[in-house]
Structure formats: C-alpha cells, structure tokens
Structure 1
Amino acid sequence: MNTANLQLEGVYAAMTALMTALRDKGLLTIDEIDHALAKAETCLVTDVRRPSEVSAANVEAICFPLRYLRMANKAAAEEPAPAFSVLAARVGQSKVRAPSV
C-alpha cells in the first residue's frame, strides 16, 4: 500500500476523533457536522474553476475524505466504532452509480 494512503488513514482517524469530541462536548450535533461536511462536498463537486482535465473519477477521489467523515459521523452511535476499512467500504457502496448504457 502507498505510504501516503496510510498517512491519510491516520488523518481520517484524527478528524473522526475531533468530530467525536465536538459532539461529546455538545458544541456541534451530528446533523450540524453532517451539514458542514455536505456543504464542503457540494463546493468541491460544483467547483467551476476546476480544470476540465480533472476526470469524474478524480473528483470522486477528492470527495472521498468528506464522504468518509460523513459516514464516520453517522456511525457515531455504533459500538464498537467501525474500522477505517468498514467505513471506506460503506462509502464505496453508497456511491450513486451512473446507469450503464
């Protein structure tokens, strides 16, 4: 596995821990966190200044961290907390697929 991918997995775990702390302290609700992440994802998807050479698959890759964090946020009540691989698989399974021609 690429070392950068392993480092990103650590960053996702850190961000998930911070989201959990914000919820536990009552500073943000699950819905407020989801709304903020959804808004950021929408901005990424609809960025009109993105070069046209960036493929749809690359935009999906750009959005993965936000989708992962949204999934982790929604899984907050699960005990034990799902592992990175479980949440990453859920992100992939939740992807809206274009109809095949």
Structure 2
Amino acid sequence: MNTANLQLEGLYVAVAALMSALRQKEMLSEAEIDAALAAAETALATDRSRPAELSPANLEAIAFPLRYLRQANRAAAAGETPSFSELTARVARQRP
C-alpha cells in the first residue's frame, strides 16, 4: 500500500476523533457536523473550475474523505466505534 494512503487513513481517523470531541463537548451537534460535511461535499461536486476530464473514479476519490467523516459522525453519535475498514465499507455501500 502507498505510504500516503496510510497517512491519509490516520488523518481521517484523527479528524473523526476531533468531531466526536466537539459533539461530546456539545460545541456542535451531529446534525451540524453532518450539514457542514454535506455542504463541503456539494461544493466539491459542483466546483466548475475542476478539470472536466476527471474520471468518475477520481471524483469518488475526492468525495471519499467527506463521506467517510459523515459515516464516522453517524456511528459515533449512535455509540458505535467501527474500524476504519468497516467505515470505508459503509461508504462504498452508500455511494450515490
């Protein structure tokens, strides 16, 4: 596996932990976090300055971090602690 992928995996897990802390301290609700991530995903999907020749797989790769974090947010709010692999499988099952 590419080392950069491992570094990104660690980053996603770290950001998910920070989101959980924000929710536990009642600084942001699950819904507020989800809305912010959904808005960011929409902004990425509608970026008109993005090169038109990007493949659908490239676009999915760009959206993955936001989708992963949304899944992590939902899981943590439900009291779950799934692994990185389990969350990525959920993202794959729920692709639009």
Q: TM (normalized to structure 2)? A: 0.95
Instruction: List alignment gaps of at least 5 residues for structure 2.
Output: none
Equivalent residue letter for 2:79 = E
Where in structure 1 do 4 or more consecutive aligned residues deviate above 6 Å?
A: none
Cross-structure match for 1:17: 17
Cross-structure match for 1:99: none
Residue-pair matches, total: 95
Cross-structure match for 1:86: 86
Structure 1 residue 78, shift from structure 2 partner: 3.2
Q: TM (normalized to structure 1)? A: 0.91
Cα displacement string for residues 39-65 of structure 1 (whole angstroms, at most 9, x for unaligned residues): 000000011111111112101100000
Cross-structure match for 1:50: 50
Cα displacement string for residues 33-89 of structure 1 (whole angstroms, at most 9, x for unaligned residues): 00000000000001111111111210110000000000000001234x000000000
Instruction: List alignment gaps of at least 5 residues for structure 1.
Output: 97-101
Q: CA RMSD in A?
A: 0.8
Identity rate, percent: 64
Equivalent residue letter for 1:68 = Y
